[in-house]
Amino acid sequence: MTVVTFGEIMLRLSPPGFERLFQSPVLSATFGGGEANVAVSLAQFDVDSVYVTRVPPHAIGDAAVRALRADGVRTDYVVRGGSRLGIYFTETGASQRASTVIYDRAHSAISEMSPDDVRWDDALAGASWLHLTGITPALGDRARTCTRAAIAFDTKTGSLPVTPSIEATIHDEPADTPTTTPFGDTAATDGSVEDHETLAPTSTFPDASRTMAVA
């Protein structure tokens, strides 16, 4: 079984343990993202997991690709381009204090991606499932167009189920960004709203996938 996921991978910066941001001058740097977490989780279950995204052609982009590969995710269709990787800062909650997330993803590589950057016919060849979320089309017009392109190819072939989900915090970024319009009538969702980019309180892909496995 082959599952293709499409979305943004970001640099994840978090303070040690239960500290607040900048309580100490130390931040742990790893990678995460809603769709990336799904891709890694699937790979942990020995599913042939293919991740499609766009990352900048510099050392940070290289590290993101290496992190995916280290957890068994195929990166054949990761596009290189743009100047920056999106960042998110996280604080792990303690006692009655909830976990918090701050996003810094404007003008990220995937938000400036062109639909022609991905060979969808090749990327989806032999795939059993296409996983998308409401996060990606909310990143801007180009990301929304790329999401539509993936669904358009899926609709044309008529062979892949699509599993969209909606992430709560991003949809107030611009107010006029549609939440589910790109999915049209090609997919169904259970209507749940989750923050899929912070599934785990820890900062590594394997921990995120283990959290998903027992949820």
Ordered mean pLDDT values, 10 residues apiece, the chain (215 residues): 94 95 94 94 96 97 97 96 96 92 95 93 89 90 92 66 58 42 38 39 42 34
Per DSSP, the three-state class of 191 is coil
CATH ID of 2-214, from 3.40.1190.20, 3.40.50.360, 3.90.25.10, 3.90.76.10: 3.40.1190.20
Tell me if 134 sits within 8 A of 102, measured CB to CB.
no
Alpha-carbon gap, residue 5 to 160, rounded angstroms: 12
Helix 59-70 vs helix 34-44: crossing angle, to nearest 10: 30
Whether the full predicted model's pTM is greater than 0.95, yes or no, is no
DSSP code at position 95: T
